[in-house]
């Protein structure tokens, strides 16, 4: 016998209060049962969650691979530019004529002493001034065809190239 039944038999509560108490208990039980979910719904939710986690993991791996590939491409590009500049530089350019151009950080004007013929080549666009990267940039003079290749690969290494300006004027 439940506590309600004992109270009813003792005469402490009447039949109406007993019925209301039973109905309230029944509602409470139904409410608890209603919040339970079927196993299929729970399994489907878990499956969706696992799929979302797997998709996020795959996306993260793809992003890491992309960053790694970009870094590798940057290193390859830098090596290629350094190789082009080292192999194709005009070595005998030092002279007594000052030639002014932008510095490697593009903040200051830098003075480079060159021969008269090299100065004319630079002004005509037959040669260009580039820099090898590093803490202390090394300024290098290269022929126009090499400067065009470097412009395609890494335009930030070309400091002065009048070939671009001349070709634009020819088009107009």
More confident residue, 130 or 163: 130
Over the stretch 72-110, which tens digit does the pLDDT of each residue have?
Answer: 999 999 899 989 888 888 887 888 888 888 888 888 888
Instruction: Select the more confidently predicted residue: 69 or 12.
Output: 69
Run of H or E residues at 171 = helix 163-171
Q: Is residue 52 part of a domain?
A: no
pLDDT score at 93:
81
In a domain, 104, yes or no: yes
Overall number of domains in the chain = 1
Structure tokens of 113? 């002493």
For the cut 90, the answer to whether the pLDDT of residue 71 exceeds it is: yes
Q: Residue written as tokens 């350019």? A: 93
pLDDT tier for residue 70 given thresholds of 50, 70 and 90: very high
Looking at the domain assignment, is residue 145 inside a domain?
Answer: yes
In a domain, 124, yes or no: yes
Give domain status of residue 99, yes or no.
Answer: yes
* Residue 144 in this model has a pLDDT that exceeds 80: yes
Per-position DSSP letters for 44-101, written without gaps between them: HHHHHHHHHHHHHHHHHHHHHHHHHHHHHHHHHHHHHHHHHHHHH--S--EEEEEEEE
**Which one is predicted more confidently, 35 or 23?**
23
Please report whether residue 122 resides in a domain. yes
Query: Is 17 contained in some domain?
Result: no
Tell me: the pLDDT tens digits for 31-61? 777 666 677 887 888 999 999 999 999 999 9
Distance CA 12, CA 18 (A): 10
Range of the domain at 102: 89-171
- pLDDT on residue 36: 65
Q: How many residues does the chain have?
A: 172
**Dihedral sign, Cα of residue 15, residue 18, residue 24, residue 27:** negative
Residue 101 resides in a domain: yes
């Amino acid at each position: 016998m439940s506590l309600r039944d004992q109270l009813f038999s003792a005469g402490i509560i009447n039949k109406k209060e007993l019925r209301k108490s039973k109905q309230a208990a029944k509602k409470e039980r139904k409410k608890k049962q209603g919040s339970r979910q079927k196993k299929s719904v729970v399994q489907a939710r878990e499956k969706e969650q696992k799929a979302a986690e797997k998709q996020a993991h795959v996306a993260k791996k793809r992003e890491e691979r992309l960053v790694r590939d970009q870094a590798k491409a940057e290193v390859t590009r830098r090596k290629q530019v350094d190789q082009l500049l080292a192999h194709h530089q005009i070595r005998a350019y030092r002279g007594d004529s000052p030639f002014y151009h932008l510095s490697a950080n593009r903040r200051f004007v830098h003075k480079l002493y060159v021969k008269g013929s090299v100065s004319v080549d630079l002004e005509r666009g037959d040669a260009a001034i580039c820099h090898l990267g590093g803490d202390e940039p090394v300024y290098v003079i290269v022929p126009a065809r090499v400067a065009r290749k470097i412009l395609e690969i890494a335009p930030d290494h070309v400091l002065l190239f009048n070939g671009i300006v001349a070709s634009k004027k020819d088009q107009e």
